[in-house]
Amino acid sequence: MRDMSKVIQVRDLSDETHEKLVQAAAARGLSLTRYIRAELEAIARREAAAQHNAEVIRKTQAGIGYPDIADAAIRAATDEGRP
């Protein structure tokens, strides 16, 4: 069983945002706490997947000798010739 003792406090949440979250939770038959927990877990999974994908891309590029080109260089090359 995992440790469920972590607590997150969100300050300065607008009344409008709070109400929308309450409505979203109710529409799914969940308490606000359960709804927010599920959303935060989904965010964490997406972040972990994005990090994994970035690592796979980096390793693949290194394996095929893909040049390490900075984003700024790519943007500058793309913008060349634009009015």
Which residue segment(s) compose the domain that 65 sits in?
A: 15-79
Domain assignment present for 45: yes
Read off the amino acid at residue 34.
Answer: R
Domain count, the chain: 1
Residues 69-81 have pLDDT tens digits of 777 777 787 787 7
Say if pTM beats, i.e. exceeds, 0.75.
no
Average the pLDDT over 6-32 and give the result. Answer: 96
- Given a cut of 90, whether residue 67 has pLDDT beyond it is no
Beta strands in the chain (DSSP E): none
**Looking at the domain assignment, is residue 10 inside a domain?**
no
Q: Is residue 6 part of a domain?
A: no
Taking residue 35's Cβ as centre, other Cβ atoms within 10 Å add up to 19
* Distances in whole angstroms, Cα of residue 80 to Cα of each of 7, 44, 70, 75: 50, 38, 16, 9
Q: Is the predicted pLDDT of residue 8 greater than 70, yes or no? A: yes
